[in-house]
Amino acid sequence: MTQPFEKVRALTGMKDILPHESAAWESLEEIVREWLALYGYRNMRTPVLEHTRLFARGIGEVTDIVEKEMYSFRDSLNGEQLTMRPEFTAGMVRATIEHNLLYDRPQRVYCMGPVFRHERPQRGRYRQFHQIDVEALGFTGPDVDAELIVMLARLWQQLGLKDVRLELNSLGQADERAAHRQALVEHLEKHIDVLDEEARRRMHTNPLRVLDTKNPAMQEMADSAPRLFDFLGAESRAHFDGVCTRLQEAGIEYRLNPRLVRGLDYYNLTVFEWVTDRLGAQGTVCGGGRYDGLLELLGGKPAPAVGFAIGMERLLDLWQQSGELPAAVECDVYMVHQGEEAQRKASLLAEELRNVGLRVVVHAGSTGFKSQFKRADASGATVALIIGQDELTSGQVSVKWLRRQDDEARPQQETLPFGDVAETLKTRM
């Protein structure tokens, strides 16, 4: 006797994308590919699994991601320490170095797919989620920094998104951050009594992140902390001004947010986030910035770089709210039939319709007309074609328009000779 099997469910925070949802994903992916092509970006696909040390080094040991959110394990076959990618940037930089992609020219590249972080799931926050990650490698900016932001504004506009705001900051260069860090640590030490446990733990390892706190008791301390922006030298300021000027010229509004530090350690100079109030607590749709030190940090020749990643679940949620999401349809034409001969005729005709590019579902299963029409309607098809005994005898297919009829004068139901159906539907749909 077979053992009863306890039903298996998906892992917490890892969602199935079901057939009725996938149309939106596919439309988004298509729009995104075309949008990226407009700016000369090319796709690359890196492995889901990488050596753990790539992310530890790349993202930074003292970050939430590396400290507590990575899905890491030891490969039982060869003992290697591996991690499911928690983001794309480190892997893309690794691939760039490994394949010497920057040897003769800079690169504009993107990746799209699942990434993994062991976070507490809630709306807009999952353990497997998807990113569109775009990287411009080998450009010093600030023109490219601004172009990336302008590009994002175009995408929001194309999707009809409302209420997405841009926040901008500069993290300067390493020596400027070091001077600021010293001043910041002194400030934190002066206010040690209001620091929570996490802040005390981090004040010497990653003091900038302490300012990112949501703890209300620490807000005043954070507000009065020395600002990194005030420690920037002339070059860093000029870079930042260069970005701002270009954004102004492009008509893009932004807010300077001196507290914007991002949760990954590789950034310098420009950092930015696009945020919205429409998604509840997880309102950051996109984050990115410049990371000129990462290639060298990961063993490559020094080269500047800048990029961003969009959270696809959050973007889709916003797109849905905008009401501009295209309707999910299974097919253009649904074929209803009665009797075996009609069924065979329907299958042959369906092939003809597919030859002219129409999406066709031939009803299969139960035979009642009523249930077939119900299915036809639920499929989202524009038109139902009906083949029964009468149609076989007369050589005419019955055509029933279920949706959208551009030509108001056209009857809702009509008949067409078998031989004319494909061409007629092709021109009318």
CB atoms within 10 A of CB 410: 12
Contact with ligand HAM (CB under 6 A) among 64, 135, 317, 332: 135
Show the site string, 73-92: x = touches ligand HAM by CB under 6 A, - = not.
Answer: --------------xxx---
Classified as helix, coil or strand, 31 is helix
The residue among 321, 314, 276, 290 whose CA lies nearest residue 166 is: 276
Distances (CA, A) of 290 to 46, 158, 234: 21, 25, 18
For ligand HAM, the binding residue among 211, 285, 336, 383 (CB under 6 A) is 285
In terms of CB distance, is 17 or 192 closer to ligand HAM?
Answer: 17
Residues 190-219 that bind ligand HAM (CB under 6 A): none
CA 48 to centroid of chain Cα atoms = 16
Q: What's the min distance (Å) between Cβ of 15 and ligand HAM?
A: 10
Distance CA 414, CA 400 (A): 7
Cα–Cα distance between 284 and 276 in angstroms, integer? 7
Question: Whose CA is closest to 260, among 224, 209, 311?
Answer: 209
Q: What angle do CA 265, 267, 269 make, to 5 degrees?
A: 145
263 near ligand HAM (CB under 6 A): yes
Compare residues 125 and 165 and give the one whose CB is closer to ligand HAM: 125
Smallest distance from ligand HAM to CB 56, Å: 15
Binding segment for ligand HAM (CB under 6 A), chosen from 43-51, 99-107, 122-130, 363-371, is 122-130
Minimal distance, residue 87 CB to ligand HAM, in Å: 4
Site membership for ligand HAM, residue 286 (CB under 6 A) = yes
Residue 269 Cβ, how far from ligand HAM at the closest point, in Å?
12
Do 378 and 403 touch, CB atoms closer than 8 A?
A: no
Of 381, 386, 353, 354, the residue nearest 369 (C-alpha): 386
The CA distance from 295 to 159, in Å, is 33
DSSP string, 358-385: --EEE--S---HHHHHHHHHHTT-SEEE
Q: CA torsion sign, 33 to 39 to 44 to 50?
A: negative
Q: Based on the shown chain and the rule CB under 6 A, indicate whether residue 284 belongs to the binding site for ligand HAM.
A: yes
Total interface residues for ligand HAM by CB under 6 A: 27
One character per residue 294-333, x = contact with ligand HAM (rule: CB under 6 A): -------------xxx-x-xx-------------------
Q: Of 50 and 87, which has the nearer Cβ to ligand HAM?
A: 87
Which of 142, 287, 300, 304 is the binder for ligand HAM (CB under 6 A)? 287
Nearest approach in angstroms of CB 119 to ligand HAM is 5
Nearest residue to the partner ligand HAM, using Cβ: 311
Stretch that binds ligand HAM, among 126-134, 182-190, 195-203, 211-219 (CB under 6 A): 126-134
Q: Which of 300, 252, 270, 305 is nearest to 134 (CA)?
A: 305
Q: Which residues bind ligand HAM (CB under 6 A)?
A: 87-89, 117, 119, 124-126, 129, 131, 133, 135, 263-264, 284-289, 291, 307-309, 311, 313-314
